[in-house]
Structure 1
Amino acid sequence: MAVIKIQFISDFVCAVTKRNLDAAIALYQKTYPGGKDDTFDITWAPYYLNYNPYPHSIDKLELANERLADQTPEQRATLNTRMTRAGKASGIHFNWGGTLGPNPATRLAHQLVRLAGDAPNANYDGSKQTALVEALFEAYHCRAQDISQPDVLREAAQRAEITSADINDWLQRDQVGSLVDQEAEANKGPAGTAGNGVPTLIIQGTHRPEGIPDAMDLMEIFIQVREVSA
């Protein structure tokens, strides 16, 4: 049995790589000899993309219009089509509506993920943390919800089967939020762990696929790691 360690540095506005990783793990465990006995140890590391420059929540389509103001309508349509197709290929049906909170809009979401994976929370394991990450991606990308809002986070965490008592406790842990701020800053910029952008995957401490790797790219890396381990 091998343990394949993956550091996933991302913000919750990055979704396709998460689904590709899920597909790659499922494919590996189903098809690679002995793969079903191998373990994937995933660390979810925070990053703030800071899309919203305003001190209040704002419509995501309005933000997109500002950020892509230099593109022609044709270029915008092409980008939208490409993103929609990439999402569908990964099982994501993007809903471009909804709002995004003020920066750092995803701080509380990262705070919940951090606490869901902390060792002192003996009631939860890595699968619970991964379920929470998936619920947060779904809230933002498919349900057009503002994941800076505590009520939205409560709903997402409940879908991940985290108790209401724990959710309410974790939302109040501002000291953990400060640690998340520090980690997000350490991951930022050319000298940071994430390098020049996110999402960033670091597999077994050495493999760092570029761009948005598909499931087969990741599967090949898993096999390399497994063969070295063997």
Structure 2
Amino acid sequence: MAVIKIQFISDFVCAWCYIAKRNLDAAITLFQKTYPGGKDDTFEITWAPYYLNYNPHPHSVDKLELANERLADQTPEQRAALDKRMNRAGQASGIPFNWGGQLGPNPATRTAHQLVYLAGEATRGKYDPAKQTDLVEAIFEAYHCRAQDISRPDVLREAAQRAGMETADVDDWLQRDQVGDMIDRDAEANKVAAGTGVPTLVIQDTHRPEGIPDAMDLMELFIQVREAAA
């Protein structure tokens, strides 16, 4: 039995981060089903915060309006090609992207990252560790597929409930800001650690795949780690 450690640096508003997360899910499933003894190995994932800060306004803004501001230098043809590429990549990973909805003011994902951290602490006792990953998925889905503003506590509460968290726990986590400063510090440090941006995956403190690794790329890295451990 081996422990494979993965640091996943990402922000919830990053579509490529969601695709990378789905690829990671697929790779872990494939490894555990096909690699000899893989079902007995443990994956320890650290969900590391990062702030992309897409919304410079002091209020929630339509995502399409923010995209138009960020991509103002692109021609209509370039923008159409980007949209097509993103939609195809999403479909390949089973993600039906919805580009509508709003995004809160910077840092719009601060509370979401806090919630994931606190859920991770809870999974060391009350919940199954997989619940934290379920919460990450639910928040990504809320923003990218349900067109919901994930800076809103009610949206995060609903996402946590879909992930199987108890309402009383979620309300407690959302009402306190005890780890906010720590999340801010981690997000700032992860800007340096990520280097070229997010998503950034670091496997077993050594392997750092470039770009958006697909499931087979990650599977090969898992095998390398497993064989090195053996």
Pick the TM interval, shorter chain: over 0.9
Q: Give structure 1 stretches of 5+ with no counterpart.
A: none
> What residue is the counterpart of 1:220 in the other structure?
220
- Would the aligned equivalents of 1:100 and 1:146 in 2 still touch at CA under 8 Å? yes
One-letter amino acid matched to 2:82: L
Q: Give structure 2 stretches of 5+ with no counterpart.
A: none
> What residue is the counterpart of 1:74 in the other structure?
77
Which 4+ residue blocks in structure 1 deviate beyond 3 angstroms?
Answer: none
> What residue is the counterpart of 1:5 in the other structure?
5
Q: Normalising by the residue count of structure 2, what TM-score does the alignment of the two structures yield?
A: 0.96
How many equivalent pairs are there? 227
Q: Determine if the alignment matches structure 1 residue 158 to structure 2 residue 161.
A: yes
- Would the aligned equivalents of 2:26 and 2:215 in 1 still touch at CA under 8 Å? yes
Report the alpha carbon displacement of residue 193 of structure 1 after superposing the two structures with TM.
1.7
Q: Normalising by the residue count of structure 1, what TM-score does the alignment of the two structures yield?
A: 0.96
**C-alpha distance in 1 between matches for 2:164 and 2:95:** 22
**C-alpha distance in 2 between matches for 1:217 and 1:120:** 29
One-letter amino acid matched to 1:130: T
> What residue is the counterpart of 2:202 in the other structure?
202
Q: 1:120 to 1:228 in 2, by over 3 A?
A: closer
Q: 1:75 to 1:120 in 2, by over 3 A?
A: closer
Q: 1:40 to 1:60 in 2, by over 3 A?
A: same
After superposition, the CA RMSD in angstroms is 1.0
**C-alpha distance in 2 between matches for 1:64 and 1:225:** 39
- Would the aligned equivalents of 1:106 and 1:148 in 2 still touch at CA under 8 Å? yes
Alignment of 1:24-35 (within 5 A): 24-35=27-38
Q: Determine if the alignment matches structure 1 residue 91 to structure 2 residue 94.
A: yes
- Would the aligned equivalents of 2:60 and 2:105 in 1 still touch at CA under 8 Å? yes
> Helix, strand or coil for the counterpart of 2:180?
helix
Instruction: Name which of 145, 148, 159 aligns with 2:148.
Output: 145
Report the alpha carbon displacement of residue 166 of structure 1 after superposing the two structures with TM.
0.7
- Would the aligned equivalents of 2:109 and 2:150 in 1 still touch at CA under 8 Å? yes
> Helix, strand or coil for the counterpart of 1:175?
coil
